[in-house]
């Protein structure tokens, strides 16, 4: 971001003070924070209850958009919302696209290489449907190895591009946006954590776009920053529909391929893909308040594999909060909350976010409903930290994956948010101001991005464990010790948001004064 000479010293001072304050706060006793968390909020789900919901949701996997598992999951969430006492429980729908691959294989120089199709590859366009194939014998061509660099001026026409998939956003890159850090066990403030990167911001779209433009027949991606699995199920990158075919291979397989690669080496890829239009279903339910000003609580229920951490955990948190506030409304003498509450679990997280965009258009941009969404709380991924050991194996640790909370709240609410993190001991957490990355990047890397871009103040919690796109995202990866603290934190903030005038919630209101 460009700063004038006048702006720069002031900006540096602000960042220095913020980071110094964050570092001081990491030294606060975690015991003291835990002691302040003694209030159990009777009626809010226990860890056991949260895990029971998670097991139910995992049982429907894979929960892909348009699949039987996806429909069963949406039906389950709707039943839970109704049982919680929510009203107007219904499905918001949108057209999305289910992708499937079959008959896939890869051989290099006559030797079979274990491989896995790049998700959403070999399609004809953003809304194209039908079957595409490389034929029963596949396609054979020479190989150009570009490693971890871009294609640039390299001649790849008519060739397979062999490239290293790189994870591009280490935690250290988020330091300029960090306004508060709760790290009492120093799990973020160490070299290993700071330079570990999440698996969802990568060079994939850049390389495949360049390869397509340069006339390559397809790509072979080496999972160079990954553990020893080729089951990397990338999302659909809606700005870069992948018309060429692709395969993932492990780092070890990539090294073996490169060790015998010559200028005359050829690779043969077989792949058939089918893409069909499907109906996505997002589940929505309401707890009426005294006004139509609405607090939105959100996650997503779809998955490509088991989806335990991503995002059976987020779905369970939304259901737990719906149960908690719904039970309050059933009590004798209940006084309705000031604001209406909306609970939602979204679809299309992996297939293009069509549902998120349709929702924002209907509820926020076009204001086609009576509900005025004044704040959003998004919950994603309560999972254990994972690293790759020296032998390339996935190593899962008994502590939480470093996580961020993106926010753009007024100063009083930000102070309340930081205090709630400490009170509930959401350790290993960085609070990130979402305004600058949203402007620089056109959004934030969470499911709240479209709502945020539409102008709604947001509290968005997310972690990016290494296994989140893999079949390895199983129930043992969940950090059970943090399930209830996350629910407690969001209940604290939802109560604070309810008590705050709608016009003073967002960062634009400065000190909480009306805009």
What CATH number does residue 221 fall under?
3.50.30.30
> Does residue 43 sit in the same domain as residue 138?
no
List CB contacts of 118: < 8 A, sequence separation 6 or more: 204, 219, 221, 234, 242, 245, 246, 247, 248
CA angle 259/263/268 to nearest 5° reads 80
With tokens 């390559």, the residue in question is 216
Shared domain check, 125 and 91: no
User: Contact 239/205 with Cβ under 8 angstroms?
Assistant: yes
Is residue 378 assigned to a domain? yes
How far is the first Cα of the chain from the last one, in angstroms, to the nearest whole number? 26
User: Is 109 in the same domain as 81?
Assistant: no
Segment holding 387, helix H or strand E:
strand 384-388
Q: Residue 243 sits in which domain range?
A: 98-175+187-275
| Tens digit of each residue's pLDDT, the chain (515 residues) | 333 333 333 333 334 334 444 444 443 444 444 444 455 799 999 999 999 999 999 999 999 999 999 999 999 999 999 999 999 999 999 999 999 999 999 999 999 999 999 999 999 999 999 999 999 999 999 999 999 888 999 999 999 999 999 998 888 888 889 999 999 999 998 888 888 888 888 999 999 999 999 999 999 999 999 999 999 999 999 999 999 999 999 999 999 999 989 888 999 999 999 999 999 999 999 999 999 999 999 999 999 999 999 999 999 999 999 999 999 999 999 999 999 999 999 999 999 999 999 999 999 999 999 999 999 999 999 999 999 999 999 999 999 999 999 999 999 999 999 999 999 999 999 999 999 888 888 899 999 999 999 999 999 999 999 999 999 999 999 999 999 999 999 999 999 999 999 999 998 755 555 54
Same domain, 255 and 286: no
Are 260 and 307 in the same domain? no
Distance CA 161, CA 257 (A): 13
Task: Let me know if residue 182 belongs to a domain.
Answer: no
Residues 85 and 208 placed together within one structural domain of the fold: no
On whether residue 7 sits in a domain, the answer given is no
**Looking at the domain assignment, is residue 380 inside a domain?**
yes
The last residue of a domain, from among 230, 252, 275: 275
Cis peptide bond upstream of 305, omega within 30: no
Tell me the three state secondary structure of residue 326.
helix
Do 412 and 400 share a structural domain?
yes
In the numeric block, the tokens 């360049």 are attached to 210
- Whether residue 220 lies inside any domain: the answer is yes
Q: Residues 494, 435: one domain? A: yes
Q: Both 290 and 353 in a single domain?
A: yes
Residue 52 lies in a domain: yes
- For residues 498 and 412, what is the distance between their CA atoms, to the nearest angstrom? 14
> Which CATH number do you get for residue 306?
3.40.630.10
Same domain, 262 and 298: no
Number of domains in the chain: 2
* Claim to verify: residue 212 and residue 310 sit in the same structural domain: no
Q: Which residues pair with 297 in a beta bridge?
A: 343, 377
The two beta strands, 372-379 and 458-463, are parallel
Output the pTM of the full model: 0.90
**Domain-located, residue 180:** no
181 in a structural domain: no
Q: Is 22 exposed, middle or buried (0-12, 13-18, 19+ CB in 10 A)?
A: buried
Q: What's the longest Cα–Cα distance across the chain? A: 81
Q: Of 257, 275, 293, which residue constitutes the final position of a domain? A: 275
Specify the DSSP class assigned to residue 442: S
Domain boundary among 256, 275, 294: 275
82 and 107 belong to one structural domain: no
Q: Which residue in the block uniquely carries the two structure tokens 């729908």?
A: 93
Q: Strands 218-223, 160-164: parallel, antiparallel or unpaired by DSSP?
A: parallel
Q: What interhelical angle do 68-83 and 314-330 show, nearest 10?
A: 20
- Do 115 and 106 meet the contact criterion of CB atoms below 8 Å apart? yes
């Amino acid at each position: 971001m460009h700063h004038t000479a006048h702006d720069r010293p002031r900006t540096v001072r602000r960042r220095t003070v913020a980071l110094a304050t964050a570092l001081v706060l990491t030294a606060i006793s975690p015991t003291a924070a835990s002691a302040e968390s003694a209030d159990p909020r009777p009626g809010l789900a226990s860890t056991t209850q949260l895990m029971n919901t998670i097991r139910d949701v995992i049982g429907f996997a894979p929960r892909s958009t348009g699949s039987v598992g996806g429909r069963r999951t949406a039906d389950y969430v709707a039943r839970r919302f109704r049982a919680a006492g929510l009203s107007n429980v219904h499905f918001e729908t949108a057209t999305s696209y289910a992708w499937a691959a079959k008959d896939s294989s890869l051989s290099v120089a006559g030797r079979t290489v274990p491989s896995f199709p790049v998700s959403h590859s070999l399609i004809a366009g953003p809304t194209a449907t039908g079957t595409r194939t490389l034929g029963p014998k596949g396609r054979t061509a020479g190989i150009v190895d570009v490693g971890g660099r871009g294609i640039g001026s390299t001649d790849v026409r008519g060739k397979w591009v062999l490239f290293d998939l790189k994870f591009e956003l280490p935690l250290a890159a988020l330091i300029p946006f960090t306004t508060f850090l709760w790290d009492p066990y120093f799990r973020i403030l160490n070299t290993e954590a700071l330079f570990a990167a999440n698996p969802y911001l990568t060079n994939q779209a850049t390389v495949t776009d360049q390869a397509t433009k340069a006339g390559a027949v397809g790509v072979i991606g080496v999972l160079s920053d990954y553990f020893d699995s080729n089951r990397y199920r990338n999302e659909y990158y809606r700005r870069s529909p992948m018309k060429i075919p692709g395969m993932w291979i492990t780092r070890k397989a990539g090294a073996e391929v490169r060790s015998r690669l010559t200028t005359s080496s050829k690779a043969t890829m077989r792949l058939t893909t089918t893409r069909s239009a499907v109906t996505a279903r997002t589940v929505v339910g309401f707890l009426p308040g005294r006004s139509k000003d609405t607090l939105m609580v959100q996650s997503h229920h779809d998955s490509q594999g088991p989806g335990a951490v991503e995002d059976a955990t987020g779905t369970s948190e939304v259901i737990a909060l719906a149960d908690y506030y719904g039970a309050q409304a059933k009590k004798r003498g209940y006084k309705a909350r000031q604001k209406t509450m909306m609970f939602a679990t979204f679809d299309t997280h992996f297939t293009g976010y069509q549902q998120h965009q349709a929702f924002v258009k209907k509820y926020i941009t076009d204001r086609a409903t009576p509900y005025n969404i004044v704040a959003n709380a998004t919950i994603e991924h309560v999972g254990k930290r994972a690293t790759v050991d020296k032998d390339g194996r996935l190593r899962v640790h008994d502590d939480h994956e470093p996580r961020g909370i993106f926010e753009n709240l007024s100063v009083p609410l930000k102070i309340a948010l930081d205090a709630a993190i400490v009170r509930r001991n959401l350790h290993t957490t960085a609070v990130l101001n979402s305004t600058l990355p949203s402007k620089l990047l056109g959004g934030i890397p969470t499911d709240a991005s479209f709502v945020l871009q539409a102008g709604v103040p947001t509290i968005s919690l997310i972690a990016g464990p290494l296994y989140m796109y893999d079949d390895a995202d199983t129930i043992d990866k969940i950090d059970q010790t943090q399930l209830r603290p996350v629910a407690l934190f969001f209940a604290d903030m939802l109560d604070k948001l309810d008590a705050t005038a709608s016009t003073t919630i967002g960062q634009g209101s400065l000190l909480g004064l009306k805009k």
